[in-house]
Structure 1
Amino acid sequence: MRLLRFLFWSAFALACAPIMILSGVALYLSPALPDVETLRDVELQTPLRIYSTDNRLIAEFGEMRRFPISYDQVPGDFVHALLAAEDDNFLNHHGVDPMGLLRAASELLQTGHIQTGGSTITMQVAKNYFLSSDRVFSRKLNEILLALQIERNLDKHEIFELYVNKIYLGNRAYGIEAAAQVYYGKSINELPLADLAMIAGLPKAPSRYNPIANPERTKVRRDWILDRMLTLGYIDEDSYREAVNTPITARNHGANPEMEAPYIAEMARLEMVERFGDKAYTQGFNVYTTVDSRLQDMANKAVRDGLQEYDVRHGYRGPEARNPDITLEQGLELLKGYKSLGGLEPALVAAVNSENVEIRLRRDQQGVINWDDMKWARPYLSANGMGPRPGKPMDVLQPGDIIRVSRIEDDNWRLAQVPEAQSALVVLGPQDGAIKALIGGFSFLQSNYNRATQARRQPGSSFKPFLYCAALDKGYTPASLVNDAPLIFVDDYLDSIWRPKNSGGDFLGPIRLREALYRSRNLVSIRLMQDLGVDNALSYIERFGFERKDLPRNLSASLGTSELTPLQIAQGYATFANGGYAVKPYLIDRIENRYGQLIDYSKPPVTPELTEQQQARLNAYVERQGSGISEQPTEAERVVDERTIYQLNSMLRDVVRRGTAVRARALNRNDLAGKTGTTNDQKDAWFSGFNPDLVATVWVGFDQPSTLGRREFGGTAALPIWMNFMGAALEGVPDREPRMPRGLVTARIDPTTGRSASPGTDGAFMEIFKQEDAPPPYSELEMGGYDSGGAVTPLELF
């Protein structure tokens, strides 16, 4: 009996020992374990996404691509596929599968190496969210304990949801929805059984079973999962046969931007990082910009077409590479190293015929360039000269050349070249400063330097309207006479002489202010600044949004020698377009978190015209945030008398009707106004113009300033880009001529004297005056009217 008792208690002790050891380990490890309740509020790392105002994806930033989804959004076939691949007993165990652990222990004893971990889906959730991937026993014990706790606190659906949103599946894809987007460009619930099984096979080894790098190995893994699904009764025989016979079609779909606006994306990214730091890339912010995708597409096309037209005017610089002895196969291999830039595709010249050129594009696509589409290619000699016209294709290209082409239709292409000149286009909504479109160069891949916001260049005569506005506000009228005559300035300290001149080198003598603006007379601008005083003029010009430090304190500022960005110039012109209010450009309209909840929204000052619309917008945002307080819009500050603005806009419309921008009459609109600008030696060409709905500024030049060519001016290089954009943007939109404010009157003026015209005066016309500045009627002039009646004599500067 004593022996039996000994054997019984010994057996009992042996049986209890593992339990006591495990209990001791659990008691030792448990205090250091994290609280699994935090899984209910877990924030998965999700990238930053930038959208247009009409909800089109512009860009995505972040190391991890992730689109968290709920369990209800996961297709049933995928649930079964993942269970078949990872844990077919998931719905029955309590976090740990003893048989799986025993199987893993047996493999370790037999091989001396860890083959599988015996982990359940719950254990993998514990590891993915709380633990490292180190293969040590302490981590496995913690994993088991955490899995047991997770099962006690969360249901199976919550655990499954945590798992499928966290796992890495290759190609920056984290979670099954991101994997579906990356490999198929679709949502997970749009995929057929075969593709769902493929994704279910990735968690085991994303690099080994990557469908892009290893499609054969991926198919083996996928078919094994389908066989398991059939065995477990998840699918029938017909579904199995159809799925295993489906080829692997996965390819990298990248971030799938829905529109091209890389400069906008970078501006938004920088602003988000400035506000949120590195969290901007991981918190799943969705940023909705003010950019209109339709206008952005038009801006892209206008800039690229304009730069290519400039290139055609100056000749062909030759192929990007010339390889006369290369084979077709070698040429195609070389072609892989070239990227598409600004819509221009790299191509290999395969054969040169008498009337056309045969080309090969990337992916061995074939095409043809007909003679009519390449005969423009006179050799480039300099900005001011070209070689003789080519007579046949062989005069331009040779087999083995790597060139650039633009598509015409089907397999027909046009010879092109990547422009060396650059351009920027900024489009603003004048009522609130919203950036509607922006392009900072020909191609972001070619150069991510944003010329719209970073390039400080002299605006030339496009700056003059700000000075003219100051003059009109200080007593000048559109009919005031100013002498367009030579001036000489001597600097006694520098022993230098400045002799400013007009663009054509001529002088017109006394000229009305209106005509001086649309003819862009430099000497008139200098005399105006002399009369106003440099400091007074610059102080006035600051109200358009310019900083005093950017404005040179000398008379040359009147000719646009300040170094300013296109965005700054567009901001100033917005005040002309909106009737005299100061608005500030802004890009981000609102920011939402990953759940679509509103985090922040912009509150720009707006003009009275937009107040009602802004009120409705703010009310909607306040309501979304759950606040019962209705936010009031801020009215923009009026910085210029509306009567002054009306006079100036009338003068700027004459720039289009009869001045340096007369080409814009081809748009057949009466509500367009603007000003050209060209700097010395034609290094910078500008046009800024507007109607009441849109302001657009265009700059053209070289990054390293050099002449665009002696025939290139604001009206030839920049204006066509502006016209192409505004013509498309305003197509079908009725004219909106501004309403004349109170306090203005019109009077019939003698074009020679700028004073009231006598009956029968040739060329007399109606001019706009402020009531206090209006000239007396001609009948009063005969009685000495300028000295009586209280009317202010128009200033005349000689």
Structure 2
Amino acid sequence: MSFFRFLLRCFTLGTLGTAWLLAGVYLYLNPDLPDVETLRDVKLQTPMQVYTRDGDLIGQFGEQKRIPLTFDAIPEQFTRALMAAEDDGFFEHRGVDLTGLMRAVSELVLTGEKGSGGSTLTMQVARNYFLSLERTFLRKFNEILLAIQIERSLTKEEIFELYFNRVFLGHRSYGFEAAAQTYYGKSIDELSLAQHATLAGIPKAPSRNNPISGPEGTMERRNWILGRMLSLGYIDRQAWSEAVAQPNSAGFHDNQVSLAAHYAAEMARQEMLATYGMAAYTDGYHVYTTISSDLQQLAQQTVVDGLFMYDRRHGYRGPERQLPVPGDGSPEAALELWRASLNDTPIIAGLDPAIVTGIQETGAEILLRSGNPEFLLWDNGLRQASPYLSENAMGRAPTQVGDVVAVGDLIRVQQKADGSWHLAQVPAAQAALVSLNPDNGAIVSIVGGLSFESSKFNRATQARRQPGSSFKPFVYSAALEAGLTAATIINDAPVVLADAGLEDIWRPENDSGEFHGPTRLRWALTKSRNLVSIRLLQQIGVRPFLRYIDRLGFDASEYPPDLSLALGTHVMTPIDVAAAYAILANGGYAVTPWLIERVDTVAGETLYQASPAAVCRECDGPAEVSGDERELRMEEILAQSQTDTQPPRAERVMDERINFIINSMLQDVIKRGTGRRALTLGRDDLAGKTGTTNGPMDAWFSGYNRDVVTTAWVGFDNYTPLGRREFGGTAALPIWINYMRGALQGSPDQARPLPPGIVHVRIDPDTGLLARPGQENAIFEYFREENVPGQGSDSEQPGSGSGNTDELIKDIF
């Protein structure tokens, strides 16, 4: 009895001592424990996602890939897989599994090594959110105490959700939804049982035993988890046998964007970073842009196709590299070098790298990145590969395969719809396209170059190039503002200028090198006559012109005050040109290009909603409405807009009558002038202007209808000439046409109504004056009612009409 009393006394003292020890540890540690209530408002580091207006993901930015889900969105099958792998008693215990802890302690005592650890999911949440990963008893005690507090504060579903979204799973993936996207390219609710078990097994060793870095260990743990699920009754034997028989189907899916619009995504990233700082990368913002998915895809394809067409006109420049050829010594080593070179060479604009492995009479044997051998037929680009000599010349057409390629050449090939491979090359020239909604400036598509992968320089927003003749409409609209008309006669004759703003004597010419004498302004703009534009700017005055374009939104302080402005010599970006053309397209209102429509938080709350100044078409009303009625209608609509929180109204910066006349002149550019190729679209509501600079160095076309304004540019980054036959109408206009064909598909022509104060009268085309009664060659022209010219007489000679300035211009300033 005394022995039993001794044992009882020892047990009681041990129990009390343990209790006192635990109480002491609790009292020592508890004051320093973090407040678990902060878990209710925890902010997971979540990347920013950028979308088109249609909901297609175009960019994801942040160091950690994470896609948080609520508990209700987590598949029950995955929940069971994770419980089988980590904590099958999760929904029963109170944060600490005593049986598991005792098992871990016994393993440590018996083997001297750490075994299973005995951590519950709740304890892992405590460790992941509050504690370090150091393996000490003190950290373990903290972990246990925090787990108990977490269980008291949060529901089991909330705890499971915290673990699901926080745990690291390899390859920068945090949370199981992000891991599902990384390893399978799918959402977790689309995965199979075997794939769920694979993901559930990653937390044990995420960097080493994920399905890409350690496939063998992954498969072993996956099958163990499936066995646990079977023994726990989570799945039946048939489901188990089917799952363990499945191979490892994981692969690396780093880029989960559903639409490639890298330049637009990068613009959004920069704007978000400027607005929200580094939080843009961690706070999980969902950024919705103004980009149209369909139009963006169309823009990218038309830019690529346009550059391919330009490139083919100038010859084949040869292989990108020449690699060593397998010899008698070590053909295997050379083959290994070939494969490594292919793997290191990116696909650009859909052009695959390939290495020529053999030459035959009918074509060339090639090796692709996939490791597959293919055959390049003589007629599939080899026959047409005349060598590039310069931008203005090509060599003789090849007569045999060996004239074009040799064994070891690293070339580019493109696969056609029928599966055949064709010789290609990455264009050396670059292009940009930007398309806006002219009513509010929203960017509906933007392409900054051939390929974002090869060059992140966004030429649509960063390339400052001379717009050339595409700037002329603003010179002509300034002339109309000054009282000249579309029928004013200006002499198309040689000009010699000794301008203080220019370094030397300047003798500008027309592109054709010809002079055409007295010319109406409408015809001069239609045919893009340089000398008429210079004389016109001289007549209205450079400084009044700068004040005029400053009102339109140009930064006139940057423009040199000389007559070369008439030829578009001051640099502009394509997006600046498009914004200026939006004024012409929307009836005379200034709008600013913008990209971000809305920013939502990770919880779905709208943080920012764009409200740009926009054109109010209803405010203007039909042309036949009187001025008083139009003013009353405007007041009613603006009053209504204040209650409906409609966007502010864009400011009118161009008289609507001048806008109507200049628009009709730009329509003639397409119908009769340098933009005639656009007639292939079969529309009557298109207007636009070509632009070509000296060299030619830059090729432009900017054009629009009432709903879409688009600018296309082609040129070399290093300012190499495009070639003597490359103009805005040959290099840039085809890109614009192919884009607008898709952008306007299904939309009807929109004729502009005649504004009040515009008259349409017959004039003499030679003098610009009113036509005589019965004059056979008379044509119709639009005038502001206060600028209608007088009637000519039989004695009047060509060139003597309104606004004639045929004198030679010298010493302007």
Q: Give yes or no for TM over 0.5.
A: yes
Deviates more, 1:634-643 or 1:373-382: 373-382
Would the aligned equivalents of 2:361 and 2:400 in 1 still touch at CA under 8 Å? yes
| Separation in structure 2 between the aligned mates of residue 343 and residue 262 of structure 1, nearest angstrom | 15
Deviates more, 1:583-592 or 1:150-159: 150-159
Aligned residue number for residue 679 of structure 1: 693
Would the aligned equivalents of 2:502 and 2:562 in 1 still touch at CA under 8 Å? no
Compute the displacement of 1:719 (Å): 0.8
Would the aligned equivalents of 2:501 and 2:562 in 1 still touch at CA under 8 Å? no
Aligned residue number for residue 263 of structure 2: 263
| Separation in structure 1 between the aligned mates of residue 183 and residue 49 of structure 2, nearest angstrom | 19
Aligned residue number for residue 185 of structure 2: 185
Letter in 2 for 1:414: H
| 1:527-606 matched pairs, under 5 angstroms | 527-606=535-614
Q: 2:452 aligns with which of 444, 451, 457?
A: 444
Q: Match of 1:181, SS? A: helix
Letter in 2 for 1:332: R
| 1:342-741 matched pairs, under 5 angstroms | 342-374=349-381, 375-490=383-498, 496-609=504-617, 630-741=644-755
Would the aligned equivalents of 1:545 and 1:568 in 2 still touch at CA under 8 Å? no
Aligned residue number for residue 615 of structure 1: none
Aligned residue number for residue 787 of structure 1: none
| Separation in structure 1 between the aligned mates of residue 138 and residue 650 of structure 2, nearest angstrom | 65
| Separation in structure 1 between the aligned mates of residue 704 and residue 476 of structure 2, nearest angstrom | 17
Deviates more, 1:211-220 or 1:511-520: 211-220
User: CA, structure 1 residues 633+346, in 2 after alignment: closer, same or farther (shift >3 Å)?
Assistant: same
| Separation in structure 1 between the aligned mates of residue 560 and residue 684 of structure 2, nearest angstrom | 35
| Separation in structure 2 between the aligned mates of residue 3 and residue 728 of structure 1, nearest angstrom | 98
Compute the displacement of 1:279 (Å): 0.6
Would the aligned equivalents of 1:475 and 1:795 in 2 still touch at CA under 8 Å? no
Residues 336-387 of structure 1: CA deviation (Å, up to 9, x unaligned) = 1111111111122233332333333221234443333312211111111111
Would the aligned equivalents of 2:499 and 2:562 in 1 still touch at CA under 8 Å? no
Compute the displacement of 1:109 (Å): 3.4
| Separation in structure 1 between the aligned mates of residue 109 and residue 179 of structure 2, nearest angstrom | 36
Q: Match of 1:453, SS? A: helix
Q: State, as a whole percentage, how many aligned pairs show the same letter.
A: 53
Compute the displacement of 1:733 (Å): 1.9
User: CA, structure 1 residues 767+129, in 2 after alignment: closer, same or farther (shift >3 Å)?
Assistant: same
Aligned residue number for residue 765 of structure 2: 751
Q: Match of 1:437, SS? A: strand
Compute the displacement of 1:72 (Å): 1.9
Residues 683-702 of structure 1: CA deviation (Å, up to 9, x unaligned) = 11111111111111111111
Deviates more, 1:102-111 or 1:585-594: 102-111
Q: Match of 2:487, SS? A: coil
User: CA, structure 1 residues 333+9, in 2 after alignment: closer, same or farther (shift >3 Å)?
Assistant: closer
Compute the displacement of 1:663 (Å): 1.3
| Separation in structure 2 between the aligned mates of residue 32 and residue 267 of structure 1, nearest angstrom | 45
| Separation in structure 1 between the aligned mates of residue 421 and residue 773 of structure 2, nearest angstrom | 63
Would the aligned equivalents of 1:368 and 1:411 in 2 still touch at CA under 8 Å? no
Aligned residue number for residue 281 of structure 1: 281
Confirm whether residue 46 of structure 1 aligns to residue 53 of structure 2.
no
| Separation in structure 2 between the aligned mates of residue 225 and residue 767 of structure 1, nearest angstrom | 83
Residues 12-64 of structure 1: CA deviation (Å, up to 9, x unaligned) = 33221111111111112111111111212222111101111111111111111
| Separation in structure 2 between the aligned mates of residue 299 and residue 210 of structure 1, nearest angstrom | 39
Aligned residue number for residue 130 of structure 2: 130
Compute the displacement of 1:171 (Å): 1.8
User: CA, structure 1 residues 4+718, in 2 after alignment: closer, same or farther (shift >3 Å)?
Assistant: closer
Aligned residue number for residue 617 of structure 1: none
Deviates more, 1:580-589 or 1:316-325: 316-325
User: CA, structure 1 residues 15+558, in 2 after alignment: closer, same or farther (shift >3 Å)?
Assistant: same
RMSD: 2.2
Unaligned runs of 5+ in 1: 613-627, 785-792
| Separation in structure 1 between the aligned mates of residue 98 and residue 113 of structure 2, nearest angstrom | 19
Q: Match of 2:713, SS? A: strand
Unaligned runs of 5+ in 2: 621-641, 807-813
User: CA, structure 1 residues 662+27, in 2 after alignment: closer, same or farther (shift >3 Å)?
Assistant: same
Letter in 1 for 2:538: Q
TM-score normalised by length of structure 2: 0.92
Q: Match of 2:204, SS? A: coil
Compute the displacement of 1:114 (Å): 3.5
Would the aligned equivalents of 1:653 and 1:671 in 2 still touch at CA under 8 Å? yes
Would the aligned equivalents of 2:354 and 2:411 in 1 still touch at CA under 8 Å? yes
Would the aligned equivalents of 1:461 and 1:678 in 2 still touch at CA under 8 Å? yes
Letter in 2 for 1:407: Q
Would the aligned equivalents of 2:768 and 2:789 in 1 still touch at CA under 8 Å? no
Would the aligned equivalents of 2:688 and 2:704 in 1 still touch at CA under 8 Å? yes
Deviates more, 1:585-594 or 1:546-555: 546-555
Would the aligned equivalents of 1:550 and 1:563 in 2 still touch at CA under 8 Å? no
| 1:60-71 matched pairs, under 5 angstroms | 60-71=60-71
| Separation in structure 1 between the aligned mates of residue 7 and residue 206 of structure 2, nearest angstrom | 53
Aligned residue number for residue 56 of structure 1: 56
User: CA, structure 1 residues 110+6, in 2 after alignment: closer, same or farther (shift >3 Å)?
Assistant: closer
